[in-house]
C-alpha cells in the first residue's frame, strides 16, 4: 500500500450494509497486516424525504465498536478534525468521495498535516469535478481498477494503481454443493436501495422470461434485493422457477447462494468495483 511506517489510519466509508463497507473492511485487514492502526468514520447517505428533498443522514453502523460516530448537527470538517487530533490520525482514506460535498478535504489540508487519499469509483465520478481539477486536493488517488487508473492518470499524476485481496475467504470459498438444484441456475443480486437501482433487474427478469419460454423449466434463477415494483413481481409470479429473497441477506447466506448456482448475472449500469463478482469468483 506504500503508506510507509505503521501509523494511525482513518477510513471514511459507508458503515451500513453495502459493498463499500465490505470493501473498506478488506482494506482495513490488509493495512492492519502491515502494522497500521485502523479506525472507521461513516460517510453520509442522502435520502429522499416525503417532500422529495434529499436529506443528509448517517445510517447505523454494522460494527459500531469500530466506528467513530458522526452527527448531522455538526459540520463534517469539525468532526473529522476532532477525531484526527484525538486519535493522532496521519492518513485519512476516503472511499468514493462525494465531491459535491467535499469541502472538508480542503479544511483538513489547511489545518493539519494529515495525508488524504481518495479511492474513486469511476462510474460515480461527476465529470465536471473531474475536469475541473477538484481531485488535486488529494495527496494520492488510489485506483483499484485498470479503467479508473487509465482515466485518472491522464489528469492526476498522483494516481496509483492499488490492489489487495477484496474477498473474505472465511465466508466466500469454493464449496461445490452436490445437493444443489439439477437445473442450470442463475443468480442476480439486485439493489437494496428503495429509491434507485442501477442493477437493471427488470432486464434480467425479462431476459430470463424469454429463456424460460425457449427452454421451459430447464433453468432456474435466484434474485435478491428490492422487488417491490409491481411489474417485477408480475414476472416473478408467472415463473415458479424464479426464487426471490426480499430482505437483507447475511454474507453467509449469499455465499450459500453462490454454492448452489452456476452463473452470476450482473448487467449493472453503474457498479464501481463490483465486489460481488470477486466474491462469486472465489466461490467458483
Query: What is the model's pLDDT at position 54?
Result: 79
Place of cell 485498470: 146
From CA 241, how far away is CA 128, in angstroms rounded? 45
Taking Cα atoms as reference points, which of 58, 57, 43, 44 lies closest to residue 12? 43
Mean pLDDT in order along the chain per 10 residues (284 residues) = 90 94 96 97 86 86 95 96 98 95 94 97 92 96 95 97 95 76 86 77 93 91 88 89 89 92 90 87 92
Q: Which residues, 6 or more positions from 216, have their beta carbon under 8 angstroms from its beta carbon?
A: none
Q: What are phi and psi of 257, to 5 degrees?
A: -65, -45
Query: What is the model's pLDDT at position 144?
Result: 95
Q: Tell me which H or E stretch contains 224.
A: strand 219-224
Place of cell 494503481: 161
* 119 beta partners: 95
Query: What is the model's pLDDT at position 181?
Result: 63
Amino acid at each position: 500500500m506504500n503508506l510507509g511506517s505503521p501509523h494511525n489510519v482513518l477510513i471514511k466509508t459507508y458503515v451500513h450494509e453495502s459493498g463499500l463497507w465490505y470493501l473498506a473492511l478488506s482494506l482495513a485487514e490488509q493495512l492492519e497486516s502491515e502494522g497500521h492502526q485502523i479506525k472507521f468514520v461513516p460517510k453520509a447517505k442522502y435520502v429522499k424525504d416525503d417532500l422529495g428533498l434529499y436529506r443528509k443522514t448517517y445510517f447505523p453502523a454494522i460494527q459500531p465498536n469500530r466506528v467513530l460516530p458522526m452527527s448531522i448537527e455538526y459540520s463534517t470538517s469539525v468532526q473529522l478534525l476532532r477525531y484526527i487530533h484525538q486519535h493522532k490520525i496521519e492518513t485519512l482514506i476516503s472511499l468514493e468521495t462525494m465531491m459535491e460535498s467535499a469541502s472538508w478535504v480542503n479544511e483538513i489540508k489547511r489545518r493539519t498535516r494529515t495525508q488524504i487519499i481518495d479511492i474513486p469509483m469511476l462510474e460515480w465520478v461527476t465529470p465536471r469535478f473531474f475536469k475541473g481539477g477538484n481531485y488535486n486536493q488529494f495527496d494520492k488517488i488510489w485506483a483499484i481498477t485498470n479503467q479508473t487508473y487509465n482515466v485518472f492518470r491522464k489528469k492526476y499524476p498522483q494516481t496509483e494503481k492499488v490492489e489487495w485481496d477484496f474477498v473474505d475467504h472465511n465466508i466466500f470459498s469454493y464449496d461445490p454443493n452436490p445437493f444443489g438444484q439439477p437445473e442450470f441456475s442463475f443468480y442476480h443480486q439486485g439493489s437494496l436501495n428503495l429509491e434507485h437501482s442501477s442493477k437493471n433487474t427488470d432486464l434480467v427478469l425479462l431476459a430470463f422470461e424469454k429463456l424460460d419460454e425457449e427452454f421451459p423449466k430447464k433453468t432456474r434463477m435466484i434474485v435478491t434485493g428490492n422487488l417491490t415494483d409491481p411489474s417485477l413481481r408480475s414476472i416473478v409470479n408467472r415463473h415458479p422457477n424464479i426464487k426471490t429473497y426480499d430482505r437483507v441477506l447475511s454474507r453467509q447466506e449469499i455465499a450459500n447462494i453462490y454454492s448452489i448456482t452456476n452463473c452470476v448475472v450482473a448487467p449493472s449500469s453503474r457498479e464501481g468495483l463490483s465486489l460481488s463478482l470477486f466474491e462469486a469468483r472465489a466461490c467458483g
